[in-house]
Amino acid sequence: MASLCKNCGGNLAFSPKRQALFCNKCGATFKPEDITAEAKELLADVEAPKASDIYGSRGSYDCSIYSCTQCGGDIVINDTEASTICVYCGSPAVVFNRVAKEIRPDGIIPFSVTKDLAQMLIKTHLKKGKFIPSEIKNASLDDIKGIYIPYWIVDCDFHDAVMVKGDVQEGKHKRTTYFAQAGEWTYQNLPCNASLRFNDNIGKKLEPFDYNEARDFDEDYLTGFYSDITDMSPANLRSAVLKRGDDMYREEVIHGLVNATKKSVVNSSPSVRIKEGEEVYLMIPAWFYTFRYKGMPHTILVNGQTGKTVGAMPFDRAKLIALTVAIFIALVFAGLLIFFGPIILLSYLFSPYIVSGFIIAGLTLGGSALRRLKQIRSNMNDTRSGSTFMFAKERQES
Amino acid sequence: MYWLGINFYTVICTVSVLIFAAGIALRVAVSMLDKSNNIGDTEGCFDDYACSFESVAKRYDIGPDSARKFLIEFGDSGFDNDDSKAHAALRMNEDNDIYGELEDVDIPLFKPL
């Protein structure tokens, strides 16, 4: 199930450091394009049995059983996996007929961030985090997996109309009013996650990708990594593009309204026409590190091309409260020292307007802090997404 | 005005300063939390992928009914429908519109050989 070394017959796996296929046995390197079809162990004629046929219907899930050609061990692959690693001998395994015959990707961005670098990037971020619990900081990071995620890159014509509600200042009062904006444009190279199992929100945070480094697809790039093929129908793709395009336009319209506050989109009416024949099916690299903290699943991702690290970490609530109280006490203490007792000064110098100003400023600062905290917790929901966790976890582990 | 022997205005002034200090403290703490724990919180936006802007219609400071009518008039062009009213309305619109071209996206589309 993997290309073999011409010299010694060992399994070849793609090395991000060398940007070539590497033989662990003899140390030889080969470019994927140099591997001929005869050297590949094609499984075109082999149909793997379903797990339920072998193990019975108890606790079964959609998967097929292949035999590892190196050790003969069972390799369990679900309906969307295209490559994995044998749990018994660690050999890479690619389901060639799945990517050769079912839905063949047009291209692939090979991993250029090695496993060691991904671990170092994650560790650096975790170490810098003052509020990250120490048990997460000190974790070993061994359970990190390189996974190719299927993506559709599309060009499309987009039409959208958005209705926004906001508050405008009129003298001393605020008035609620509406804004509307419509337009037609083209989205170019719009990436859309092509796996229904992978969370869209966290996928968007892995961007941007440099498509200049994309290469024509070759199964050998998958060796040594996990990968999935797309399970999206054309209708799913259209819905995904529509949602992505509409979300971005809504943000653009909101951002453009500078004279209003408390802006929110009330409604929108998007439509899309994907330019047929120009969709590109691309495999995108990402490293996934999964762990559990207080029973909740968490995933940190690293863009396998650029090294961008993504993930909102759980925080130590006690530390946050302690820091807030410490800053508060420091400010009040500084006020006492500087003004020789704010109570005495306040009574003689502060007019009602200044007092109101302090209250409004304090409430505004506090309100924006709480909104930001809500945003952080919302980002944590994406990192804590069970689907992202299972996307990475439900794979054979070497 | 006194309450329990304390000048009431002094109490209000002190409370206002404490509220201000609490607001600053919370803002600073949450900013530090954001930098510490919220890793990689950026994603591709409209400017990264949009180009060839054909036409725009904008309405500022209108009532909810006008906004709803705008949405009906200019929304959901239904690209497959050649007689789309929304598509035509946008092209014919002359009030408050700004025509312009967005720069092409500077990322070449990967085309397999």
pLDDT for residue A85? 80
Across the interface, whether the CB atoms of A347 and B58 are under 8 A apart is answered no
Q: Is A283 among the domain residues?
A: yes
Across the interface, whether the CB atoms of A161 and B44 are under 8 A apart is answered no
Across the interface, whether the CB atoms of B77 and A271 are under 8 A apart is answered yes
Query: Averaging pLDDT over each range in A185-194, A226-235, B46-55, which range is the top one?
Result: A185-194
A228 beta partners: A81
In whole angstroms, give the CA distance from residue A229 to residue A191.
16
Please state the rounded mean pLDDT for residues B45-59: 79
Does residue A18 sit in the same domain as residue A119?
no
* ipTM topping 0.85: no
Whether the predicted pLDDT of A129 surpasses 50? yes
Residue that wins the pLDDT comparison between A85 and A155: A155
Whether the predicted pLDDT of A339 surpasses 50? yes
Whether the predicted pLDDT of B36 surpasses 80? yes
Does residue A248 sit in the same domain as residue A386?
yes
Whether the predicted pLDDT of A44 surpasses 70? no
Does residue A53 sit in the same domain as residue A127?
no
Quick one: which of B42, B39, B18 has its CA closest to A365?
B18
Does residue A100 sit in the same domain as residue A147?
no
Does residue A145 sit in the same domain as residue A204?
yes
- Range of lowest pLDDT (A97-106, A125-134, A219-228, B92-101): B92-101
Helix (H, G, I), strand (E, B) or coil at A54: helix
pLDDT for residue B83? 58
Does residue A210 sit in the same domain as residue A129?
yes
**pLDDT tens across B79-95, in order?**
666 556 676 676 666 55
Q: Is A142 among the domain residues?
A: yes
Does residue A129 sit in the same domain as residue A76?
no
Residue that wins the pLDDT comparison between A396 and A266: A266
pLDDT for residue A169? 81
Does residue A162 sit in the same domain as residue A197?
yes
Please state the rounded mean pLDDT for residues A267-274: 91
Residues 32-91 of A with CB under 8 A from B: none
Which domain does A248 fall in, by range? 115-315+382-393
For residue A214, give the chain B residue with the closest CA: B110
pLDDT for residue B96? 45
Average pLDDT value for chain B: 73
Whether the predicted pLDDT of A298 surpasses 50? yes
Whether the predicted pLDDT of B18 surpasses 60? yes
pLDDT for residue A270? 92
Across the interface, whether the CB atoms of A379 and B41 are under 8 A apart is answered yes
Does residue A24 sit in the same domain as residue A171?
no
For residue B26, give the chain A residue with the closest CA: A324
Q: DSSP code of A102?
A: I
Q: Is A341 among the domain residues?
A: no
Across the interface, whether the CB atoms of B36 and A269 are under 8 A apart is answered no
In whole angstroms, give the CA distance from residue A277 to residue A272.
15
Q: Is A347 among the domain residues?
A: no
Q: Is A205 among the domain residues?
A: yes
Please state the rounded mean pLDDT for residues A393-398: 66
Q: Is A321 among the domain residues?
A: no
Residues B64 and B105 sit within 8 Å (Cβ to Cβ): no
Q: Is A183 within 8 Å of chain B by CB? A: yes
In whole angstroms, give the CA distance from residue A313 to residue A136.
9
Does residue A212 sit in the same domain as residue A159?
yes
pLDDT for residue A398? 53
Residue that wins the pLDDT comparison between B15 and A57: B15
**pLDDT tens across A219-235, in order?**
889 888 988 888 888 88
Q: Which residues contact A339 (CB under 8 A, 6 or more apart)?
A: A345
Q: Which of A56, A79, A105 is the last residue of a domain?
A: A105
Backbone CA torsion sign across A180, A183, A187, A193: positive
Q: Provide the domain count of chain A.
A: 2
Q: Is A354 among the domain residues?
A: no
Q: Is A374 among the domain residues?
A: no
Q: Is B99 within 8 Å of chain A by CB? A: no
pTM of the entire structure?
0.79
Helical spans, DSSP H, in chain A: 51-55, 96-97, 115-128, 134-137, 200-205, 234-256, 317-339, 342-349, 352-383, 386-393
* Residue B106 token pair: 């500077």
Please state the rounded mean pLDDT for residues A161-179: 87
Does residue A305 sit in the same domain as residue A184?
yes
